């Protein structure tokens, strides 16, 4: 049994002189498919199980992972190698790893699932979405990718923690492409969350969304490009989700703040600025792993630290970072449940769970009515951010011009640009709405780890440069 191998791995590590050991035993089952223009292109099915073993020896980490463990001898051999590597690295390591103290838990937790997905139900729903998307004459392509994952993770460490966490994810990627007279426009969306079929049939009804993206793609064929100008922008929660992810979430990861991700993923322009005002009083940012149905939901992170809501920015002041047990020692603070890995075969890293801008007091429509000239920015698309998360540009699905407080013409191929401190200080209104969006392809680390999470917030209003490309 996988859990027995995990328990034994901790014993073996301690018998071989390590200071600390933790093990993640994981089982993941996945089923999905791709449907394009009414035809199933392929089905996919995957089953994985294995162990990820971390050892801390003489202030340095060692790591070993194995798939489908069967041999105790192979387990012992792998752990022995990880320990030797740790002692070797320790010889030249200038700053020895220390772990902040944290409470240990023995617990089993399950994410709520109302309706267990089946491949038959998912396929039927996808076909209905495809039919809805292709009702318009100028739609030349419909693409729907759905998949359901079941995950069971057992965490055990040498401090005495023993934690089982079970959850289901269901994700649907939909896109619609319209074409006429040499111009094509694509509108896409990702729906779903941590839970069952209800994540795409009730909470975020993909059939309704399919109609929306088809209509918007069709309308964009007749839309105009935007003229370049620096102006007032009202961003919808979907766009805010990606903006929050890129210029608020990533630079709040303590390893980036310390420069430990600089070689492959960048740093943080606000390194050393804790307690400093970096935005307007309207900027309040949190990270919360316990927001129900978010793809970043978990009760314990991959160090066994119980989930907690983290305040990152309060009234424009930088007040905190996402911490591991190791970085918490460096910052002289407490670990706050930010360590996660893509799977058992990777070392955990500091990652966002569900980073959001908190809602405010404005009605979103009133935010627009209050603008003489500007733009409503709708839907996330593609980000481009510098290494320090300072200069940013993010394209949107589409935009609408605001004239004298009213939405007017539709605009296509729009990109929004700014620098972080200037934009943060320009925010003067937050909506009283609040939406969490699924992010499924966040990359970090070397080797690269692709992680799921949630991001979101309300409508926000600020000043940025808008243009079409």
| Distance (Å, whole) CA 382 – CA 390 | 17
pLDDT of residue 129: 98
Q: Is the peptide bond before 66 cis (omega within 30 degrees of 0)?
A: no
**Structure-token match 């994540």, residue found:** 199
Confidence of residue 184 (pLDDT cuts 50, 70, 90): very high
Strands 162-180 vs 429-430: parallel, antiparallel or unpaired = unpaired
pLDDT at 405 (0 to 100):
98
Average pLDDT, the chain: 97
Q: Which residues contact 118 (CB under 8 A, 6 or more apart)?
A: none
Inter-CA distances, 320 with 426, 437, 460, Å: 21, 23, 22
Please tell me which residue, 266 or 34, carries the higher pLDDT value: 34
pLDDT of 409: 97
Asked whether residue 263 carries a pLDDT value surpassing 80, the answer given is no
> How close are the terminal C-alpha atoms of the chain, in Å?
56
Strand positions, DSSP E, 306-425? 310-314, 317-318, 339-340, 349-350, 354-357, 373-385, 391-403, 406-412, 414-419
pLDDT beyond 80 at 264: no
Question: What are 365's two structure tokens?
Answer: 């429509």
Look up the pTM and report it: 0.96
Q: What is the pLDDT of residues 206-218, one digit of tens each?
A: 999 999 999 999 9
**The pLDDT of residue 64 is above 80:** yes
Distances (CA, A) of 171 to 141, 148, 218, 344, 437: 20, 7, 25, 21, 11
| pLDDT of 58 over the 90 cut | yes
Contact of 329 with 423, CB cutoff 8 Å: no
Task: State residue 347's pLDDT score.
Answer: 97
123-144 residue pLDDT tens: 999 999 999 999 999 999 999 9
Q: At how many degrees (to 10) do helices 2-15 and 72-90 cross?
A: 40
pLDDT greater than 90 at residue 229: yes
Confidence (pLDDT) at 29? 98
- Distances in whole angstroms, Cα of residue 389 to Cα of each of 252, 266, 316, 321, 338: 10, 8, 17, 15, 19
Q: List domains and CATH numbers for the chain.
A: 2-29+44-99 (3.30.2290.10), 110-223 (3.30.2290.10), 229-468 (no CATH)
pLDDT at residue 80 above 80?
Answer: yes
Nearest C-alpha neighbor of 253 from the set 303, 207, 314, 320: 320
Q: What is the mean pLDDT of residues 407-422?
A: 98
Tell me if 245 sits within 8 A of 352, measured CB to CB.
yes
Q: Which residue has the tokens 């964009």?
A: 220
Residue matched to tokens 């009202």: 234
Q: Please tell me which residue, 173 or 260, carries the higher pLDDT value.
A: 173
Q: Indicate the DSSP class of residue 252.
A: G
Give the 3-state secondary structure of residue 238: helix
The position carrying tokens 């989700």 is: 241
What is the average per-residue pLDDT within 374-388?
Answer: 97
Is the per-residue pLDDT at 203 higher than 90? no
Predicted pLDDT at 46: 96
Confidence of residue 266 (pLDDT cuts 50, 70, 90): confident
**Percent of the chain clearing pLDDT 70 (strictly above):** 99
324-374 residue pLDDT tens:
999 999 999 999 999 999 999 999 999 999 999 999 999 999 999 999 999
The encoded tokens of residue 44 equal: 């996919």
Instruction: Provide the Cα torsion 290, 294, 296, 297; round to 10°.
Output: 40
Band the pLDDT of 204: cuts 50, 70, 90: confident
pLDDT over 90 percentage in the chain: 97
Model confidence at 116: pLDDT above 90: yes
């Amino acid at each position: 049994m996988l859990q027995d191998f995990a328990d034994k791995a901790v014993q073996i590590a301690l018998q071989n002189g390590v200071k600390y050991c933790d093990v993640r035993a994981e089982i993941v089952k996945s089923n999905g498919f791709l449907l394009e223009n009414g035809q199933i292109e392929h089905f996919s099915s995957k089953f994985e199980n294995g162990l990820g073993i971390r050892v801390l020896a003489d202030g340095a980490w060692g790591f070993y992972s194995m798939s489908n463990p069967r041999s105790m001898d192979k387990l012992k051999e792998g752990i022995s190698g990880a320990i030797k590597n740790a002692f070797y690295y320790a010889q030249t390591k200038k700053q020895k790893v220390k772990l902040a103290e944290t409470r240990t838990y023995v617990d089993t937790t399950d994410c709520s699932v109302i309706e267990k997905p089946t491949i038959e139900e998912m396929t039927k729903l996808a076909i209905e979405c495809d039919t809805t998307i292709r009702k318009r004459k100028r739609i030349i392509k419909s693409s729907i990718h759905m998949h359901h994952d079941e995950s069971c993770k057992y965490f055990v460490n040498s401090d005495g923690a023993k934690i089982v966490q079970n959850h289901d994810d269901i994700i649907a990627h939909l896109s619609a492409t319209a074409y006429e007279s040499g111009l094509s426009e694509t509108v896409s969306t990702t729906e779903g969350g941590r839970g069952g079929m209800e994540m795409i049939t009730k909470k975020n009804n993909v059939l309704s969304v399919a109609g929306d993206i088809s209509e918007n793609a069709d309308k964009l064929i007749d839309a105009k490009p935007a003229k370049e100008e620096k102006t007032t922008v009202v961003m919808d929660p979907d766009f805010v989700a990606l903006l929050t992810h890129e210029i608020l979430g990533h630079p709040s990861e303590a390893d980036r703040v310390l420069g430990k991700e600089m070689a492959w993923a960048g740093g943080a322009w606000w390194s050393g600025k804790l307690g400093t005002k970096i935005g307007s009083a309207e900027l309040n940012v949190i990270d919360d792993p316990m927001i129900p149905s978010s793809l970043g939901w978990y009760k314990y992170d991959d160090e066994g630290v119980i989930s907690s809501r983290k305040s990152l920015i309060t009234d424009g002041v930088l007040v905190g970072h996402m911490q591991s047990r190791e970085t918490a020692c460096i910052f002289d603070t407490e670990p706050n449940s930010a360590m996660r890995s893509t799977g058992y075969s990777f070392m955990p890293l500091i990652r966002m769970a569900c980073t959001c801008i908190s809602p405010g007091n404005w009605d979103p429509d009133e935010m627009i009515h209050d603008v003489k000239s500007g733009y409503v920015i709708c839907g996330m698309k593609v980000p481009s951010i510098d290494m320090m998360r300072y200069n940013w540009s993010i394209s949107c699905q589409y935009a609408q011009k605001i004239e004298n407080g009213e939405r007017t013409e539709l605009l296509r191929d729009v990109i929004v640009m700014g620098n972080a401190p200037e934009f943060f200080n320009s925010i003067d209104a937050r909506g009283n709405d609040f939406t969490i969006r699924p992010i499924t392809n966040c990359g970090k680390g070397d080797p690269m780890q692709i992680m799921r999470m949630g991001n979101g917030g309300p409508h926000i209003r600020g000043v940025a440069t808008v243009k079409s490309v």
